[in-house]
Structure 1
Amino acid sequence: MKPNYRRCISCRKVGLKQDFWRIVRVFPSGKVQLDEGMGRSAYICPQATCLQAANKKNRLGRSLQASVPETLYQTLWQRLAPSHHQNQISG
């Protein structure tokens, strides 16, 4: 099977699908959620810079053609926190 490549909506970096977070606008409800579901998807690097830019410039909303709830951004920031914290300790 050939690898699935995706592009970050913030930094435009191309990488393997599993290296990104997936945000989905579920069909037909239009609800925006993380990781699973059928519908329009957007991918973002699990990095603070990408998340910040996506939030500030509404890149997720534009990409998904839907309004992204603030709670979804908060969840992504929480996901980012443990790995970000580890980097600060070891670095």
Structure 2
Amino acid sequence: MKQKNYRRCVSCRRNRPKQSFWRVVRIALNHQIEIDRGMGRSAYICPDINCLTQAKTKNRLSSSLRTKVPEHIYQDLQERLRG
């Protein structure tokens, strides 16, 4: 039986409740990339340095969102890990 509100990390492919992930969104109207807010195409990533590094190296967020993810998004996610 599939449980509600589970998502899959674009990097490690683990299924977890969506609250345990960061949500990266390509906003529907203007195609800008936001973290944790907005409506549009979403990708989920574990709050883990290994997942973040692998997603950046292999362009997994860009592939999932079907657009280029700006460098500042990766920097913001790294800052969240430090904070």
TM bucket, shorter chain: over 0.9
Deviation (angstroms), 1:44: 0.2
Match of 2:64 in 1: 63
TM-score by length of 2: 0.94
- Which SS does the other structure have where 1:37 is aligned? coil
Rg comparison, structure with higher value = 1
Identity %: 53
Match of 1:72 in 2: 73
Q: How does 1:22-41 map to 2 (within 5 A)?
A: 22-41=23-42
How many equivalent pairs are there?
A: 81
4+ residue segments displaced more than 4 Å: none
TM-score by length of 1: 0.86
Match of 2:11 in 1: 10
Higher share in helix: 1
User: Once superposed, what is the RMSD of the aligned Cα atoms?
Assistant: 0.9
Which 5+ residue runs of structure 2 have no aligned equivalent?
Answer: none
